[in-house]
Amino acid sequence: MQPTRCTLGLLTLALGLLAFALVLDERAALAGGLVLLFFLIYRGYLFLHASRQAAGSAGLERQAAPVILRQGATVAVTARARIRVPPGLTASLEDLPPAGSVVVQGNSWSSPLGPGMQIPELRYGISCLATGSLAFQGMAVRLGDPFFSLCIPIRGAPFTEPALQVDPAGRSPRARGAGGFGEQETGLLAPLKGFSVRSFRDYATGDDPRAIDWKLSAKHGRLFVREYAGLSGKHPLLVVDLPDSAVPCPPETRDSLAGTALDAARAMAREPGGCSLMVISGPNLLAFLPEERSVSRIERAIREYHTPVRAVQWFRSLDPGIAQVYRKRLEGHAADRSSYPAVLGGLYQAFLPAVQPARFEVQCARALGRSRSETLTVLSAGLGDASHLSSLAIQARRAGMESYLEIPAPAAGPSDLGRLAGLGFSSVGVIR
Amino acid sequence: MTGKRPLAIAMAAAAGAALAASWWSGIPAGGALVAAACASAFFLALRAPSPGFFLVCLSQPLAFLAWQAAPLLSLLVELLVLTAVLQAAGLLGERGLRMKWAAFTVPAAVLVAGPALSRHVLMPLGAALLAAGVLGAGMLLYAYRVSNPAGGEAP
């Protein structure tokens, strides 16, 4: 129960009068202070009694469609609530969506309701980012009068139905590492052992008997032990490239991308180094969270820009460094001034001195330098122009990082994979 | 709080009561002071974001003055001001609400009778604070039970 500003003022006045009465032995102040103090207590009891009656009369009929969906998909919810508001009170109702979901359409709360029987209807849409069986969290009844306000969450069985069954949208391939994100097996010896066998050698005293390969030993008549690949932790930087809201994107592609990004970010946040996350949409840096351990902050960053508007667009953008390389290659053809390579080289020569690095390139360079990451994993829908992806791959290479690109299966046609393979990433994977 | 008319009526009544009390208790200058206080209260009540509080706050000198005439008159002034606050807030619009407010006059009279019948404030203050503490604790427990119903069901 929260007091209003007026109530706090009256309480302060009552206590001041009582203190004044005690110090100066003033009975008039005592009478005034006591009347005000007990007036507030009396109003509090009346408010609680009326609130109890109001909350007791509350009911809810909720319909959601679909109830079986993929992660990130939108559910249309229609909630018809009813409540009898006692005289003197105002009420507002809020339907509480399942944990791990976000309201993406409409409002899940009602406008203030006056006294009498009220039947507001709430229509809104939620996007479920968590997976599994998700139940609604109930309904919150907010009541208030000029002196107090109160929020009563009602979480009984009728208020939490129906349950939503959310299937994972996609999982990022983790074959590069033996465990979670950031672990990679190497051919070098390392204190941490992976799961792959890099070689066999003769048994030496002191070797772990569990490493003995009994099949090979039986075949050759002497003991062999397995040498496991070393495991090195490479702190990854996860880049989520969200598709432009102005460009048609299949819902399953968008859902798969968001679901995979959340799944990967949650897994990375549990790692010792946290999750370094960069949310972009084309050449627009939307959020950068270096070494973030708070799952809620990560989810908020991805949810907030679920359908971004790209303020800056690139089309076949050329990196200045790459252009310099082209220009040097074309210098060999300078003898014949009328040939196409010579003309093209002349064009490069003319505009290259004036070219400045784009803001996105500068931001990426700073982010890669700050995150202390050793690998770069880019999750992208792979739609439209891929200049920003190419720029990311170039920046990663300059920073000495391995870079991987992963795209959702619905967008991974043979031509798409071929186009994206030439961007400069170490590998291009498909999110299943 | 909405509505200027109830406030104007309440403050006019308070000013009249103050003038009567000052005449009765033989303090003529007090009446003018209290009337000025009432006019200031009315002005602030219309302008301030929490006019109910200002109305009660600035009517306290009137209640003090009325106490000099008779404790019962002081009680009436306090109840009148609080009635104006409730009326302006729309909390006396129905018969049931008015009956509940009328029922408060009985404990209010008891509260005023305590200081009026005793020579010092210590004993009635201690007893009243003890009662207020018990009632306040009960109210907090009630609020907890209302806002955290068992099993999440509606209370």
- Look up residue B16 and give its two tokens: 């009249």
**Which of A6, A31, A41 comes nearest B132 by C-beta?**
A41
What count of other Cβ atoms lies within 10 Å of the Cβ of residue B142?
Answer: 17
Q: How large a percentage of chain B has pLDDT more than 70? A: 68
**Facing residues of A101 across strands?**
A128
Higher pLDDT among residues A389 and A323, named by residue: A389
Instruction: Name every residue whose Cβ is closer than 8 Å to that of residue A248 and which is 6 or more positions away in sequence.
Output: none
**Which of A28, A87, A150 comes nearest B64 by C-beta?**
A28
- Residue B134 pLDDT > 90, yes or no? yes
- Residue A135 pLDDT > 80, yes or no? yes
What residues of A are in contact with residue B132 (Cβ under 8 Å)? Answer: 34, 37-38, 41
DSSP for chain B, please give it: ---HHHHHHHHHHHHHHHHHHHHHHT-HHHHHHHHHHHHHHHHHHHHSS-HHHHHHHHTHHHHHHHHHH-HHHHHHHHHHHHHHHHHHTTTTSSHHHHHHHHHTHHHHHHHHHHHHHSSSSHHHHHHHHHHHHHHHHHHHHHHHHHHS-GGG---
Torsion of the alpha carbons at B109, B114, B119 and B123, rounded to the nearest 10: -160
**Which of A28, A38, A87 comes nearest B111 by C-beta?**
A38
Question: What would the mean pLDDT of B43-64 be, rounded to a whole number?
Answer: 71
Higher pLDDT among residues A192 and A377, named by residue: A377
A408: helix, coil or strand?
A: strand
Mark yes or no for CB contact A39/B104 under 8 Å: yes
- pLDDT tens by residue, A13-58: 888 888 878 887 778 888 888 998 999 999 999 999 999 888 888 8
Phi and psi angles of residue A58, each rounded to the nearest 5 degrees, phi first: -75, 145
End-to-end CA distance of chain B: 29
pLDDT of residue A25: 79
The gap from C-alpha B129 to its chain's centroid, in whole angstroms, comes to 18
* B113–A contact, CB cutoff 8 A: no
Mark yes or no for CB contact A21/B121 under 8 Å: yes
What residues of B are in contact with residue A56 (Cβ under 8 Å)? Answer: 154-155
**Which of A22, A30, A58 comes nearest B154 by C-beta?**
A58
CA separation for the pair A237, A375 (Å, rounded): 6
- Residue A302 pLDDT > 60, yes or no? yes
Mutate: best of B82, B147, B148, partner A, most A CBs <10 A: B147
- Residue A397 pLDDT > 50, yes or no? yes
pLDDT of residue B1: 46
CA separation for the pair A410, A381 (Å, rounded): 9
Mutate: best of A10, A24, A35, A48, partner B, most B CBs <10 A: A35
- Look up residue A325 and give its two tokens: 């390389």
**Facing residues of A278 across strands?**
A239, A288
Torsion of the alpha carbons at A262, A263, A269 and A273, rounded to the nearest 10: -110
Mark yes or no for CB contact B60/A39 under 8 Å: no
State the helix-helix crossing angle for B60-69 and B28-47, rounded to 10 degrees: 150
pLDDT of residue B52: 77
Question: What would the mean pLDDT of B117-128 be, rounded to a whole number?
Answer: 84
- Residue A321 pLDDT > 90, yes or no? no
Residue of B nearest to A20 (CA): B121
**Which of B52, B64, B107 comes nearest A6 by C-beta?**
B52
CA separation for the pair A334, A346 (Å, rounded): 9
**Which of A17, A30, A55 comes nearest B124 by C-beta?**
A30
* B153–A contact, CB cutoff 8 A: yes
* A23–B contact, CB cutoff 8 A: no
Q: Does the predicted interface ipTM exceed a cut of 0.85?
A: no
Three-state secondary structure readout of A119-178? CCEEEEEEEECCCEEECCCEEEEEEECCCEEEEEEECCHHHHCCCEEEECCCCCCCCCCC
- pLDDT tens by residue, A68-116: 887 777 889 998 988 998 888 889 999 888 877 778 888 888 888 888 8
The whole-chain average pLDDT of chain A stands at 82
Torsion of the alpha carbons at B109, B111, B114 and B120, rounded to the nearest 10: -140
CA separation for the pair B148, B140 (Å, rounded): 12
* Peptide linkage before A209 cis (omega within 30 of 0): no
CA separation for the pair B143, B135 (Å, rounded): 12
What residues of B are in contact with residue A37 (Cβ under 8 Å)? Answer: 128, 132
Q: Which helix (H) or strand (E) holds A231?
A: strand A224-233
- Residue A163 pLDDT > 50, yes or no? yes
What residues of B are in contact with residue A144 (Cβ under 8 Å)? Answer: none
What residues of B are in contact with residue A42 (Cβ under 8 Å)? Answer: 104, 107
